[in-house]
Amino acid sequence: MAITLQSAQLSLSGKTVLNNLSVSFASGCLTVILGPNGTGKSSLLKVLSGELRCAGELSFYGKLRQHWSAPELAKSLAVLPQASSLNFNFTVREVVELGGMTLNASHDQIKKIAADNMAQLAITSLAERLLPQLSGGEQQRVHLARILTQVAQSPRAPMLLLDEPTSALDIAHQQQTLMLLKELTQRGVGVIAVLHDLNLATHYADRMIILHQGEIAADGKPAVVLSPELIEGIYHYPVQIISHPLHGYPLVVSG
């Protein structure tokens, strides 16, 4: 397992956010974390990245978090938060190339890796635009290109931790981004993504984890774990689950 969390216990402002939670994540898998607002999705991602400390034990690639140096871990673990505080007048190209700080590469090599990742995210045309001038969705794609550059020379299967990577994207870019993430997992990359959209999750996820009151309410393949009873019990809203008419994956529709 690339990431293992054991017996995580986290409280914020007197509220239990994670309750004795244990979970592991493998490379080569697209795992989507879901759950109602305030159920601990982003907090779990921050614990997994090491940003939030809590009671319990966190390991990366079989080694405890405290035994990793930040520069070494950054070669294999990249995090995309919900929002970035980077508001300097850097161009898109410069922001993506910032990911190359982890690489053992010449400036020309970093430029080539960054250019390839910009092309993957369809932002090459934005290369000379200033980051603060972009829309929220465009900025999300820029930062995804940056973290892909960051792990380009990982000595092991890298892990990407993404907090709502599609929240500001239109329908076309949502699909393109998740298709890219799915393709990356087929190359061995591990992806852990927090999403709100159940149907995006059922379409692309290899594994779905649904949180409820700081605990894991469901964990497995979407077609196996999803049921109307589960969704209604957690989200307090009646639904039906049908099969997609073309592709067969589960679709959650209003009951």
Any residues with CB less than 8 A from the CB of 155 and at least 6 apart, and which?
75, 76
What architecture is domain 3-76+156-254? 3-Layer(aba) Sandwich (3.40)
Could you read off the pLDDT of 84-117 as tens digits, one per residue? 766 778 999 999 999 999 999 999 999 999 999 9
Which amino acid, 208? M
Is the pTM for the entire model greater than 0.85?
yes
Kindly state the average pLDDT of the residues 123-136: 94
**Per-residue DSSP letter, 205:** -
* Confidence band for 126, pLDDT divided at 50, 70 and 90: very high
Count of alpha carbons within 13 Å of 42, Cβ hemisphere only? 12
> Across the strands, what pairs with 79?
161
Give the CA distances from residue 162 to residues 6, 32, 223, in Å, rounded to whole numbers and listed in that order.
21, 9, 23
State how far the Cα of 110 lies from the Cα of 87, in Å rounded to an integer: 22
Could you read off the pLDDT of 28-53 as tens digits, one per residue? 999 999 999 988 999 999 999 989 99
Three-class HEC string of 157-202: CCEEEEECCCCCCCHHHHHHHHHHHHHHHHCCCEEEEECCCHHHHH
Q: Where are the domains of the chain?
A: 3-76+156-254, 83-153
